[in-house]
Amino acid sequence: MHYCRYYPVDVVNGPGTRCTLFVSGCTHQCKGCYNQSTWSFDSGMPFTQAMSQQIIDDLSDTDIPRRGLSLSGGDPLHPNNVPAVLELVKRVRSECPGKDIWCWSGYEIEQLTELQWQLVELVDVLVDGRFEKDKLSAQLPWQGSSNQRIIHIDEWLKQQKSA
């Protein structure tokens, strides 16, 4: 996997102060996407163990406390990205207790494969759905267009079990 950008301190992509990783690679290629530079799977830099460790170190930093990790892109849930992102998420869960994880994806939750679910079950919030330029809304926190949903995974899973 490659990544385009990493922000060790971010207050835009999710609630509170966070670390944010923009992975490379997206086949949705939504019209009007503000992040077209992340579409190519080989753009940016290779995601290494050193980068993974940097994220863990930043999340553990008590001088600048972070609420959690945000995963965006590109698309963290693209099948090419899932193995590396899943490994990172497992590390965060194990080594950074109490940190929340948000993930943005052009896939809708109902479309996810078993492999994608292995990752999604470990995140707190999934913002799903392709960006739709005609539904652009600057009024919605953490969504680019009104069709995208902010899904709290634990709540969603409980609703699915009771349905």
pLDDT in tens, 103-136: 999 999 999 999 999 999 999 999 999 887 888 8
Q: pLDDT by residue (tens digit) across 19-67?
A: 999 999 988 776 776 677 877 889 999 999 999 999 999 999 999 999 9
The encoded tokens of residue 131 equal 């960006």
Q: What is the pairing mode between strands 2-10 and 18-23?
A: antiparallel
Burial tier of 113 (Cβ tally within 10 Å: 0-12, 13-18, 19+): exposed
Query: Rounded CA gap, 23 and 3, in Å?
Result: 4
Cβ-contact 2, 41 below 8 angstroms: yes
Residue 31 near residue 69 (C-beta atoms within 8 A): no
Residue with tokens 């163990």: 49
pTM value is: 0.93
